[in-house]
Chains A and B, each alone.
Chain A
């Protein structure tokens, strides 16, 4: 109930602040570009585009949202409301993942990809990972410039496997690396049970870390030195 209201509020916020508009334009550009690429290349490029959206855009947007809520002091209101850190994080994560999912499905449909369900799942899981990372970073910093700097290592971690994937480099150990599991799902390959467990544990750990960070941020809003 409260969760739904929170998500509805986040979606409204993201629409009002132009995220949906920006993404609509981006999606059109992506699709136009894809349709211009020769058929034989398309598969990998589409996978890459879809996979790279959460680390490139989702994480960035997450940072922008938290910084905005900080600077407009909306966080003060939320800190003295019944909202829990878990709800706050989950709502942001779900609303941003929703955009990534919409973009992914649009691109996949335009490119005539199969396995839409697995692709969609892969996108949502990738998005969860990077929005959580974005949240963890955003609560620690004050400005967008600082945020961009801090996300560089995470971008490398995120894009690393994508680059390897593009060049067909394939170390056996890397197949259990969360980002690689994700990119394979986006490519439409169903992962084995162990890989799904790894992914879930990884996301749970990130969620726990995000929860700690948000709680700390809320407790420090008043100026406490914790």
Chain B
């Protein structure tokens, strides 16, 4: 589906994206996770053929991105990190127009507007839309021609929790239909929940690449925290894989004296800090 080999790119003379290599297979949700300015959008622009002056090999659907023909785009849906609509036309007019430019028959505009909670505002001009509404509208636009590859640049940014949930469910629905999805985000939760694999990106480089599960498991040891009563309330922590050697815990279990016991694992956020030495936001 997507093959990137030794990709190098920079807007200036200073190297920026350095020696990136990865593959994305069909039906996968692949995440680019990194702080602002890391190069996530740049990477998406390269993969969608908008930055043809890169070095290395970048193939999407078997086509080298810098040499794409225009029918390359029949099967790619792009959601930019900003609104890309005619402000004076209504949402419906915009969607009707953009979807008419593709060979494939458009998905139901009505249905998608309904699903994303925009049906009531479909005949409002885009200029009257809030940031979150624009984000949802642009997301719909990327989906309309039913592309095999979706490139979503921070699709959930600016959304309230309800709409965030709605959009994530839609993304998972597209995955269930076999679509390949590139998801750019600096939201650790979204990445953990949606992505089959994530690439940690900082300063134009991939610092780690694996499934969220493996990333979390491979690093920080999981711990167990327990509480009991003894001259007031006491708390202790031990590593999960050393639990059998904790005499006190054994005794507390034996005497049924535990007040509470929790295991906890590091979040993707902790792992990101751990690996890259940088916070996500």
What residues make up the interface of A, taking CB atoms closer than 8 Å to B?
A: 2, 5-6, 8-9, 12-13, 16-17, 72-74, 76-77, 79-84, 219, 221-226
Contacts of B48 in A (CB 8 A): 80
| Contacting pair B45 A81 (CB below 8 A) | no
Contacts of A226 in B (CB 8 A): 52-53
| Contacting pair A82 B73 (CB below 8 A) | yes
Residue from the set A9, A80, A221, A225 with the largest chain B CB neighbour count within 10 Å: A80
Contacts of B101 in A (CB 8 A): 2, 5-6, 81-83
Q: How far is the CA of A219 from the CA of B49 in the complex (A)?
A: 9
What residues make up the interface of B, taking CB atoms closer than 8 Å to A?
A: 11, 45, 48-53, 70-71, 73-74, 76, 78, 80, 82-89, 93, 97-98, 100-103, 141
| Chain A to chain B contacts (Cβ below 8 Å), 25 pairs | A2-B100, A2-B103, A12-B93, A13-B86, A13-B89, A16-B88, A16-B89, A16-B93, A17-B88, A72-B87, A73-B84, A77-B78, A80-B49, A80-B78, A81-B73, A81-B98, A82-B74, A82-B103, A83-B70, A219-B52, A221-B50, A222-B50, A224-B11, A224-B51, A224-B53
Q: How far is the CA of A73 from the CA of B87 in the complex (A)?
A: 10
Residue on A nearest B45 in the bound complex, by CB: A222
With A9-B97, A73-B82, A222-B45: A79-B89 Cβ-Cβ less than 8 Å: no
Q: How far is the CA of A84 from the CA of B72 in the complex (A)?
A: 11
The B contact surface, by secondary structure, is: loop
Top 3 closest pairs, chain A to chain B, by CB: A222-B50, A5-B100, A222-B45
Q: How far is the CA of A197 from the CA of B182 in the complex (A)?
A: 51
Residue on A nearest B97 in the bound complex, by CB: A9
With A5-B101, A6-B101, A73-B80: A80-B50 Cβ-Cβ less than 8 Å: yes
Q: How far is the CA of A3 from the CA of B80 in the complex (A)?
A: 25
Contacts of A8 in B (CB 8 A): 100
Contacts of B11 in A (CB 8 A): 223-225
| Contacting pair A77 B98 (CB below 8 A) | yes
Task: Please tell me which one of the listed residues B52, B85, B97, B100 contacts residue A224 in the complex, with CB atoms under 8 A apart.
Answer: B52
| Contacting pair B76 A12 (CB below 8 A) | no
